[in-house]
Amino acid sequence: GDKAYIATTVSNDCVFGASITLKADTPHLTEAYSHFKQEARRLKPDYQPITVNTDGWGSTIKAWLALFPRIIIIRCFLHAFIAIRSCCKRLHEFPQLCDRVWTIYRADSQMGFYREVAELYAWAQDRFQGTAKTAIHKLCAKTGDFLLAFDHPDAYRTSNMIDRLMVPM
C-alpha cells in the first residue's frame, strides 16, 4: 500500500535501468539511479553520458548531476506541453495553442525556436488568464533549457520513449 517510484533509464528503445525507491527526493533518487551508473561502469569503467532528458523534476535533475556532474540536462518539451494541456484543453483557443506549441518544437534552429517562443508569448498575452497564462509563461521561461537540445542533435527532446516502454511494464 505504500507509494513507490521507479527511477528508470532508457535509450534506443531499451530499458537500461529501473530501480525502486520509496521517496522522490534527491537522496533517494540518487541512490536509485546509482544502480544504473554502477551497471554501466561495470561494462565501461569511464562511462559518462553526455545528456539526459528529464521531466524537469528538480530532485531528478539533482540526482543525475550528483551521479554525473558533467551531464547536460535536456528538459522534456512534452512535459511543458502537458502542463499547458492540463489547464487549457477546454478553452476555445486550445487547437490554435497546440499548433503554436508544436510549431516551436519543430523549429529547425535555435533562432527559429526562440522566434516561435516569442511569437507564442506575444500571441498569448491578451488571450489567456490565470493558470493557462501561467503555464504558457512557464514554457516560454524555460526556452534556454530547451535550446540546449540544438547543441546535442542526438539527444532526446522528449521523454516519451520512457512512457512507451513503461506502459507494458
Question: How would residue 23 be classed by pLDDT, with cut points 50, 70 and 90?
Answer: very high
For 38-68, how does the pLDDT look when each residue is reduced to its tens digit (9 = 90+)? 999 999 999 999 999 988 889 999 999 999 9
Own/partner contacts of 63-66, CB < 8 Å, gap of 24 or more, are 63/7, 63/26, 63/29, 63/30, 63/32, 63/33, 64/33, 66/26, 66/30
**Res 142: pLDDT:** 92
Q: Does the pLDDT of residue 14 top 90, yes or no?
A: no
Q: What pTM, to 2 d.p., does this model score?
A: 0.86
Segment 63-88 shows an average pLDDT of 94
Q: Is the pLDDT of residue 149 over 70?
A: yes
